Amino acid sequence: MQVAGGAVNSTWDVVVVGGGIAGLCAAITARRLGASVRLLDNAPAALRGGNARHARNFRVVHSVPTPFAPDNYQADEFLAEIDAITGGAPHRTLAERLVAGSETLVPWLIDNGVSMQPPSVGVVPYSRRTVFPLGGGKAMINALYRTAAALGIVFSSDSDVRGLREAACGWIVEIGGNGSAPSEVEARTVIVCAGGPGGDAAWLRAHHGASGDGLMIRGMPFADGRLLEQLFAMGASAVGDPSVCHMVAVDARGPRFDGGIVTRITAIPHGMVVDASGARIDAAGAGQEPTHYARWGPRIAACDGQTATLILDSDALRRAAPQAFAPIEAESVGSLATALGCDPATLHAAVTSFNAAPPPGARPLTRAPFAAYPMRAGITFVHHGVAVDDGLRVVWADGRVHDSLYAAGMIMAANVLRRGYLAGLGLTLAAVFGRLAGEEAARHVAR
Q: What is the pLDDT of residues 229-257, one digit of tens each?
A: 999 999 999 999 998 889 999 999 999 99
Report the alpha-carbon distance of residue 385 to residue 246 in Å, rounded. 14
Contact 90, 420 (CB under 8 A): no
pLDDT tens digits for 282-300? 987 676 565 577 889 999 9
Quick one: pLDDT at residue 179? 61
Question: What does 252-310 look like in DSSP terms, one character per residue?
Answer: TTS-SB--GGGGB---GGGSEEE-TTS-EE--TT-SSSTTHHHHHHHHHHTSGGG-EEE
The letter for the amino acid at 36 is: S
Computed on alpha carbons and rounded to an integer, the radius of gyration of the chain in Å comes to 23
Per-residue pLDDT reduced to its tens digit, 368-407: 999 999 999 999 899 999 999 999 999 999 999 989 999 9
Name the amino acid, one letter, at 296.
Answer: W
pLDDT at 180 (0 to 100): 61
**pLDDT over 90 percentage in the chain:** 74
pLDDT tens for each residue of 14-62: 999 999 999 999 999 999 999 999 999 999 999 999 999 988 899 999 9
Paired strand residues for 357: none
Strand partners of residue 161:
175
pLDDT higher than 70, residue 85:
yes
Strand segments (E) across 135-227: 154-156, 161-167, 170-175, 183-192, 216-217
Domain segments of the chain: what residues? 4-201+387-446, 247-378
Give burial (CB, 10 Å; 0-12/13-18/19+) of 386. buried
Residue 210 has pLDDT above 90, yes or no: no
Which of 274, 260, 256 shows the shortest CA–CA distance to 373? 274
> CATH top-level class for 247-378?
alpha beta
Asked if pLDDT for residue 441 goes beyond 80, the answer is yes
Architecture of domain 4-201+387-446: 3-Layer(bba) Sandwich (3.50)
